[in-house]
Chain A
Amino acid sequence: MRGCSLQAHDWQTIVNEHGPLVWRTAYRLLANDADSADCFQETFLAALELSRRQNVQNMSGLLVRLATTRAIDRLRQRARQEHGPAAACDGEPTAGGGDPHEQAQSRELVGRLREAIGRLPAQEAKVFCLRYLNDMSYRQIARELSIGTSAVGVSLYRAKASLRQALSAAQMDDDEVHNERT
């Protein structure tokens, strides 16, 4: 798909075709309609600008990468502004219903993971999201981010270690609070 030859109706097709994927990618990380909408628009506008400068071989991968990058930037902004994820999220109920306590725990766990992703270095966060949330292969990630596959592996390893540490630290804090209350 040649970006320089894309017209407005082509972009309408692209948005209709890849919009759900981009929206899911953004909403999954941001859990907020307003932020997801901004991320959605910025992703397509950035893709438009890129398509005018260079050839786009894989529009789906490009859009996922741009949406992930935008969403991670917003997560990092939240982390810097020290806004808790609960305050910034819409609080989407967990699929499947079930026990409200379990749903609350699940929301809390996911919120902690988002918060921890926002505190990761940018490249590690991108690699982690593209690999585990968008199911991209090492080679695809390396091609999209213009890095080597070994760098992808190293970033993934570091990201997982940091996230495990962050989740366990949050769990220990919660246990201490629970013990103090009891």
Chain B
Amino acid sequence: MRERRDKLSEAMARLKQEGQTQEVPKEVVDETLRRIAAGEFPPRIGVRGENIADGETARARIRNPQSQIRSLFRLAAAAAVFVLLGYTAGRLSAPQPLDLDELRQTLAPSVAAAIEPAIRKRVVEDIRHDFQLALAGTYLRVKEELTEQYRNDLNRFAIQFLAASNATTNELLTQLVQSIDTAKAQDLRRIARALSEIEMNRVQDKTQLASGLQTLAYGMEDELSRTKREIAQLLVDVRPAGFDVPQVEPRQTHDERNQP
């Protein structure tokens, strides 16, 4: 479209450029002025100056109405004569009516022989076509039925499989929960037993430790009493003259205190 527009634009531009350098021949100007001076008008100038013989404005010529009516009558008369002549010629040249029965009897064998193979062929083609259509329809129907049945079987199998799978899963889950509970109870029992043993050991250790500490305290007390007596004896032995030795009352020993 753009190319066509460009072509048109290019052609218009070139056409517009043409003739720009053309000079008016002097003889043309002189001849024109001579004809203007002589008053030679061009033939058949229309109202708006168009050349009536060439342009479509020839239809715009002003005609005498009487001559138009007369020419119209002439045209009508000529048409009537032509129609009459044509009708007469047609009537005269029309063929005689035919005997249709005789014509039918004459033409029937040849027509039958001519069209029989074609009809037979056409019938065979029609039957073949119908069979093909019927086979195609049956094939499609069987295919659809098999597809439907296969789909139903698959759905049923899927439902059954899902149900069985759910039951098995539930049973396994129950077993799992029971085993977890059992293991948890065993662990609790073991923990309780261990705690009880620990408590017993703790009480036993505490008793032993108290007994030991008591024994140690008694021993230390005896040792301190004995050390005190020995120091007093030492002081007696090394005392100066005239120094009175204080009497130290011996304390009871552990065994003495424990005696009844």
Contact = CB atoms under 8 A, between A and B. Distances in A.
Nearest to B7: A167
B14 A110 contact: yes
Nearest to B40: A45
Contacts of A113: 8, 11-12, 15
Given A46-B49, A110-B14, A121-B56, A28 B19 contact: yes
Interface stretch (B31-39, B83-91, B109-117, B200-208): B31-39
B253 interface: no
Nearest to A114: B15
A44 B36 contact: yes
Contacts of A158: none
A41 B31 contact: yes
A8 B32 CA distance: 11
A19 B18 contact: no
Nearest to A47: B49
Interface in A1-53: 8, 11-12, 15-16, 19-20, 23-25, 27-29, 31, 33, 37, 40-42, 44-50
A19 B24 contact: yes
Those 4 A-B pairs whose CB atoms lie nearest each other, nearest first: A73-B54, A28-B19, A27-B19, A113-B11
Given A28-B18, A122-B56, A146-B48, A46 B11 contact: no
Contacts of B153: none
A163 interface: yes
Contacts of A49: 41, 45, 49
Contacts of B31: 37, 41
B106 interface: no
A133 B28 CA distance: 23
B22 A11 contact: no
A70 B44 CA distance: 13
B32 A163 contact: no
Contacts of A112: 11
B29 interface: yes
A109 B51 contact: no
Nearest to A70: B51
A72 B56 CA distance: 11
B242 interface: no
A40 B16 CA distance: 18
A47 B49 CA distance: 7
Interface residues on B, range: 35 or more
B51 to A, nearest CB: 5
B18 A77 contact: no
Interface of B: 3-5, 7-8, 10-12, 14-25, 28-29, 31-33, 35-37, 39-42, 45, 48-51, 54-57
B16 to A, nearest CB: 5
A164 interface: yes
Nearest to A129: B15
19 contacts: A23-B23, A28-B19, A33-B25, A37-B25, A37-B28, A40-B32, A41-B31, A41-B42, A50-B48, A62-B49, A66-B49, A72-B55, A73-B50, A74-B54, A77-B54, A109-B11, A122-B55, A168-B3, A171-B7
A41 B18 contact: no
A27 B22 contact: yes
Contacts of B36: 8, 11, 15, 44-45, 48
Contacts of A121: 56
B55 A168 contact: no
B129 to A, nearest CB: 44
A168 B12 contact: no
Nearest to A133: B16
Contacts of A137: none
Contacts of B23: 20, 23
A152 to B, nearest CB: 16
A15 B54 CA distance: 25
Contact of B45 (A46, A106, A110): A46
Nearest to A107: B14
Contacts of B11: 109-110, 112-113, 167
A15 B14 contact: no
A132 B50 contact: no
